[in-house]
Structure 1
Amino acid sequence: MASQSLRLITWDATGTLLRVRGSVGEQYKAAGLLFDLACPEVTSLNAAFREAYTEQSQHKPCYGSTCTRKTESGAWWATVVQETFKRCGVEDAPLIMKIADYLYHDMKRPDRWEVFGDVHPALSWCKAQGLRLGVLSNFDDRLNGILSGVGLRSYFDVVLTSDEMGMQKPQPEAFHLALKHTNVQAGQALHIGDDPVTDYLGATESGMAAFLLKRNKAAELKSISIPPHHILDSLDDLPPLLEATST
């Protein structure tokens, strides 16, 4: 893509722009301790969370917003929290429900999130070039508030989450909706994210250009063939790369 034809960059959120401070397991353990729960180890909680989240995402995609009987995101996450602790041997359902409610609201706090150090410079550069920016994320409806809290929301023309859209990456419809919201053609748009399938393949199969941001996830490339010049080690690489394509 020649950068002079580029009008829009959409961004993944978690793992690309920001991440949970510490880890999910650390947040769950800290919450449990507040309720006098003798918590499992962080490594066990992290592993159990990944399993519980994956299972719930397959059972009720888009945080339950597409189910016949719509599930609110808070209830969706409560199931994940319950299953996470259950997989670690904790089955005090009433207590875990209290922890789940606490976590759902606590994770809205900006100090629970960490913005990657290369994000503000990259977004500022893109805005200075007159590019439109949007977020396209498999996240729930708390994302707008979180982005505002960590000082990122003002960069973006639109923030679209799978919860609110009723669809999720890598579905082409999710990318097409971002294009519709910004009145930009696929050939004038670029998507940046850290997941080879949901971000890179989802965008390219929707007709958009894409860059994969590694974020130390090189091992996750597996058998997916991505041209080396489409892989970013850091967002610091983005401005010179886009400038080079315009010459």
Structure 2
Amino acid sequence: MLRLQLLTWDVKDTLLRLRIPVGKTYAAEAQAFGVHVQAEALNRSFRQAYKAQSDRFPNYGLSQGLTSKQWWVDVVMETFRLSGARDEKALPSIAEKLYRDYSSKHNWETLPGAKETLQQCQRMGFRMAVVSNFDRRLPEILAQSSLHKHFEFVLSSEDAGCAKPDRRIFLEALRISGVPPQLAAHVGDHYVNDYRAAREAGMHSFLLKTAGQAAEWETEVPKEHLLPSLAHLPSLIEKG
């Protein structure tokens, strides 16, 4: 591997993760509005609503005239409807409040070793940026989590107008940075969206292993590209 100049990072489940399950957060917020729904039902309904919305309106429906905020408000309201909530008048207020809540660090926590690894990579001289399937709330979330300072720029799929695994989002990050693909590497937790997509853009990539990952993907990834934890990254890359 040539000496790398740029590291791009996924965010969700790579650097940050939700503090508590979506259903529990939704249930607590709804209760404040007098709407009572079980957290587990909300967890199941959220997965269903999120998938349906993503299939129908990819990348927040930007190409179909939606805003990312409206996209999320619709997901939240459909989650409650699928869970049996009947108070239609309260749902828009609940959805708006949850949209704001997820802009804050209170619903997010930094993964173990993330801050230390970012600091070490900076000390090693790497330029760093974010490439994430996220909406425009991401810079604020990163700032509140004290991670924003590590990155030259944050490229969300909303800002890029395309989402991983579309390689154009990586090509845009390379254009912004002025770094050729062979001198850049991406770090993420998703085999298709992060590991493989970055490689299809000509970059190097590293895959953070997670408990829910399909075991067969591991045979597709060389051992030196697999990260049992973020702390393993600096030892796999060196900058002369």
Q: Structure 2-normalised TM-score?
A: 0.94
The equivalent of 1:56 in structure 2 is: 53
Cα distance in 2 for residues equivalent to 1:220 and 1:32: 37
Describe the SS at the equivalent of 1:181: helix
Say whether residues 1:178 and 2:173 are aligned partners.
yes
Say whether residues 1:110 and 2:112 are aligned partners.
no
CA displacement 1:99-118 (0-9 Å, x = unmatched): 10010011111111101121
The equivalent of 1:36 in structure 2 is: 34
CA displacement 1:61-107 (0-9 Å, x = unmatched): 2212222xx21221110111112112212243221111100100111
Whether the aligned pair in 2 keeps the contact of 1:15 and 1:194 (CA below 8 Å) is: yes
The equivalent of 2:159 in structure 1 is: 164
Question: Percent same amino acid among aligned pairs?
Answer: 39
Whether the aligned pair in 1 keeps the contact of 2:35 and 2:85 (CA below 8 Å) is: no
The equivalent of 2:206 in structure 1 is: 211
| Paired residues for 1:1-247 under 5 Å | 1-2=1-2, 5-40=3-38, 42-67=39-64, 70-219=65-214, 225-243=220-238
Q: Quote how far apart the aligned CAs of 1:232 are.
A: 0.6
Cα distance in 2 for residues equivalent to 1:11 and 1:221: 23
Aligned length: 240
Q: Quote how far apart the aligned CAs of 1:158 are.
A: 0.8
Whether the aligned pair in 1 keeps the contact of 2:35 and 2:87 (CA below 8 Å) is: no
Cα distance in 1 for residues equivalent to 2:215 and 2:104: 30
Describe the SS at the equivalent of 1:191: strand
Cα distance in 1 for residues equivalent to 2:159 and 2:126: 24
Unaligned runs of 5+ in 1: none
Q: Quote how far apart the aligned CAs of 1:34 are.
A: 1.1
Q: Quote how far apart the aligned CAs of 1:220 are.
A: 6.3
Considering only aligned residues, what root-mean-square deviation do their CA atoms show, in Å? 1.7
Describe the SS at the equivalent of 2:174: helix
Whether the aligned pair in 2 keeps the contact of 1:196 and 1:221 (CA below 8 Å) is: no
Whether the aligned pair in 2 keeps the contact of 1:65 and 1:164 (CA below 8 Å) is: no
Unaligned runs of 5+ in 2: none
Q: Quote how far apart the aligned CAs of 1:224 are.
A: 7.1
Q: 1:185 to 1:222 in 2, by over 3 A?
A: closer
CA displacement 1:173-196 (0-9 Å, x = unmatched): 010000001000000010011111
Q: Quote how far apart the aligned CAs of 1:222 are.
A: 5.2
